[in-house]
């Protein structure tokens, strides 16, 4: 088992990564206030992993109540949140109850927001079961649901007490979801970890083949990068914004096509290509490093071109991104592999040109 810490003073917590952790109820027993938990999961994950988790908990004398939600981003909303609250109230869950998220990022974000607000806040443990959730969404304490007028618009910062990533759960993950998770993995290499980027270039085939040792290492190195960024800037006033590399372009793709058409990681893959090409066009990134970035994204089986929405449509959609601050578009661009920086006031013509270059 690999162990990392997210250092946030009193709210510090461990990220545990390894095989078979789902069966180790002690890892949860160590962090609960009372022997009572509510497990939030969905209809896809429950048949695969719920009974194993319940068994591991009852072996520790922990009583659990399962709340099984429908599967999908379309259900990440206030109505479904209310279903969680109904389950917690019917189960007479009190302030000593720990909410456990068992699933991908959708479940983690919703269960986390429910934990942040139920009775003004209860403890919360993340058991992420997608690669994206294991390397990204389960770490850092961002929780949210969607609003009809925007994704993740209603939420809170609420750090988990522990993150338990059982890498064996990835064996049932569809290939497309695995590749989408790799987009966020590549992102860490691009924004702050050139050594990791080199390692990913050498091991992409093995990762796509789900070699468990390679996957564990990729998850650990991704989480180590995210943990450092979150420890430096918990509420995204500064450096945490670097995690948005490719995301403003990606947001335009997701919103422009209609959410769900492309997976988030696929949109981020093409978005990072756009950011790299723009960085090159502005003279910040050498063409050699730009091509390395594009090649690795392609090797991960991710799209390197975006849908032809038209550059103006992209710009309009990008202006609606949550990352826009006081009307100014702020973009994460690359100086080098492993070196990113935030830029405001990038000329629109240059952005249009980079988008056009990446759309076929
Ligand atoms: P997801 O939660 O929708 O999971 C993808 C699919 O895989 C779902 O159908 C799910 O039921 C299924 N699944 C989950 N685990 C499985 C397993 N082990 N085997 C088989 N199927 C499995 O998607 P995701 O990519 O994990 O997360 C995306 C969500 O995360 C988005 O809502 C996004 O906004 C959010 N997110 C949050 C943060 C954050 O910091 N909080 C960061 C990134 C993304
Ligand atoms: Mg993302």
203: nearest Cα among 216, 192, 190:
216
Looking at the structure, do residues 141 and 189 belong to the same domain, yes or no? no
Q: How far apart are CA 302 and CA 323, in angstroms?
A: 23
Q: Which atom of ligand 1 is nearest to the CA of 184?
A: 43
Active site residue 320: no
Task: Say if residues 151 and 134 touch (Cβ distance below 8 Å).
Answer: no
- 343 C-beta neighbours (distance < 10 Å), count: 15
Tell me how many domains the chain contains: 2
Give kind and range of the element (H or E) at residue 35: none
Residue 245 lies in a domain: yes
The answer, yes or no, to whether any atom of ligand 1 lies below 6 A from the CB of 42, is: yes
pLDDT, average across residues 20-25: 98
pLDDT reported for residue 323: 67
In this structure, what CATH number is given to the domain that contains residue 239?
1.20.1090.10
Q: Report residue 339: phi and psi, to 5°.
A: -145, 105
Active site residue 54: no
Percent of the chain with pLDDT over 90: 94
Average pLDDT over the chain, rounded to whole? 96
pLDDT reported for residue 67: 98
Give kind and range of the element (H or E) at residue 100: strand 98-103
pLDDT reported for residue 322: 66
Q: Which residue puts its alpha carbon closest to atom 32 of ligand 1?
A: 106
Residue 177 lies in a domain: no
Looking at the structure, do residues 165 and 193 belong to the same domain, yes or no? no
**Binding region:** 71-76, 105-109, 129-130, 142, 151, 169-172, 184, 247, 264
Pairing of strands 123-128, 142-147: unpaired
pLDDT, average across residues 283-306: 98
The DSSP secondary-structure symbol of 71 reads: P
Annotated catalytic residue, options 158, 161, 221, 251: 251
- 329 C-beta neighbours (distance < 10 Å), count: 18
Q: Which atom of ligand 1 is nearest to the CA of 112?
A: 41
Looking at the structure, do residues 96 and 138 belong to the same domain, yes or no? yes
Q: pLDDT digit string (tens) for 302-338?
A: 999 999 999 999 999 998 876 666 667 899 999 999 9
Query: Facing residues of 251 across strands?
Result: none
Looking at the structure, do residues 311 and 164 belong to the same domain, yes or no? no
Residue 175 lies in a domain: no
Q: How far apart are CA 298 and CA 4, in angstroms?
A: 30
pLDDT, average across residues 64-92: 97
Looking at the structure, do residues 160 and 203 belong to the same domain, yes or no? no
Rg (CA), the chain: 20
pLDDT, average across residues 88-113: 97
Q: Which atom of ligand 1 is nearest to the CA of 76?
A: 32
Looking at the structure, do residues 229 and 250 belong to the same domain, yes or no? yes
**Binding region for NAD(+):** 71-76, 105-109, 129-130, 142, 151, 169-172
pLDDT reported for residue 334: 98
**Which one of 120, 148, 170 terminates a domain?**
170
Give kind and range of the element (H or E) at residue 68: strand 63-69
Closest ligand, as measured to the CA of 135: 1
Tell me, in angstroms, the distance from the centre of ligand 1 to residue 132's CA. 6
pLDDT at 149 over 90: no
pLDDT, average across residues 138-163: 95
Active site residue 142: yes
The answer, yes or no, to whether any atom of ligand 1 lies below 6 A from the CB of 306, is: no
Q: Which residue puts its alpha carbon closest to atom 4 of ligand 1?
A: 104
pLDDT reported for residue 151: 87
Interacting residues of 313 by C-beta distance below 8 A, sequence separation 6+ = 252, 256
Q: pLDDT digit string (tens) for 1-18?
A: 999 999 999 999 999 999
Q: pLDDT digit string (tens) for 199-225?
A: 999 999 999 999 999 999 999 999 999
The answer, yes or no, to whether any atom of ligand 1 lies below 6 A from the CB of 106, is: yes
pLDDT at 191 over 90: yes
344: nearest Cα among 356, 333, 336:
333
Instruction: Read off the pTM.
Output: 0.97
**Which one of 149, 170, 191 terminates a domain?**
170
pLDDT reported for residue 326: 65
Q: Which residue puts its alpha carbon closest to atom 21 of ligand 1?
A: 173
**Domain interval for residue 65:** 2-170
The DSSP secondary-structure symbol of 67 reads: E
pLDDT at 80 over 80: yes
Tell me, in angstroms, the distance from the centre of ligand 2 to residue 63's CA. 34
Annotated catalytic residue, options 54, 184, 217, 234: 184
* Mutation test residue for ligand 1: of 70, 104, 245, the one with most atoms within 8 Å of CB: 104
pLDDT at 148 over 90: no
pLDDT reported for residue 328: 78
């Amino acid at each position: 088992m690999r162990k990392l810490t997210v250092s946030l003073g009193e709210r510090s917590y461990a990220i545990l990564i390894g095989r078979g952790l789902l069966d180790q109820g002690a890892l949860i027993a160590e962090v609960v206030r009372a022997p009572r938990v509510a497990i939030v999961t969905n209809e896809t994950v429950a048949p695969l992993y719920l009974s194993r988790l319940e068994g591991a908990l009852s072996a520790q004398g922990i009583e659990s109540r399962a709340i099984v939600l429908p599967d999908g981003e379309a259900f990440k909303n206030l109505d479904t949140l209310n279903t969680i609250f109904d389950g917690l109230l019917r189960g007479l869950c009190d302030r000593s109850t720990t909410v456990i998220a068992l699933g991908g990022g959708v479940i983690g974000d919703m269960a986390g927001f429910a934990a942040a607000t139920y009775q003004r806040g209860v403890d919360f443990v993340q058991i992420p079961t997608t690669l994206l959730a294991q390397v990204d969404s389960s770490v850092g304490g961002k929780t949210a649901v969607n609003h009809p007028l925007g994704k993740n618009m209603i939420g809170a910062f609420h750090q988990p007490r522990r993150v338990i990533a059982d890498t064996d759960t990835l064996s049932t993950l569809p290939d497309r979801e695995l590749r989408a998770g790799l987009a966020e993995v590549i992102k860490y290499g691009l924004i702050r970890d050139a050594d990791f980027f080199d390692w990913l270039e050498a091991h992409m085939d093995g990762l796509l083949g789900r070699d468990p040792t390679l996957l564990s290492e990729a998850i650990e190195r991704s989480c180590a990068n995210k943990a450092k960024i979150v420890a430096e800037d918990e509420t995204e006033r500064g450096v945490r914004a670097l995690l948005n590399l490719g995301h403003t372009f990606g947001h335009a793709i997701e919103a422009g096509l209609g959410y769900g058409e492309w997976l988030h990681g696929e949109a981020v893959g093409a978005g990072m290509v756009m950011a790299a090409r723009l960085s090159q066009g502005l003279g910040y990134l050498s063409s050699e490093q730009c091509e390395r970035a594009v090649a690795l994204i392609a090797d991960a089986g991710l799209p390197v071109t975006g849908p032809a929405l038209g550059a103006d449509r992209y710009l309009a959609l990008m202006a609606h991104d949550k990352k826009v601050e006081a009307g100014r578009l702020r973009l994460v661009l690359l100086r080098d592999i492993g070196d990113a920086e935030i830029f405001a006031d990038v000329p629109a013509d240059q952005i249009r040109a980079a988008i056009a270059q990446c759309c076929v």
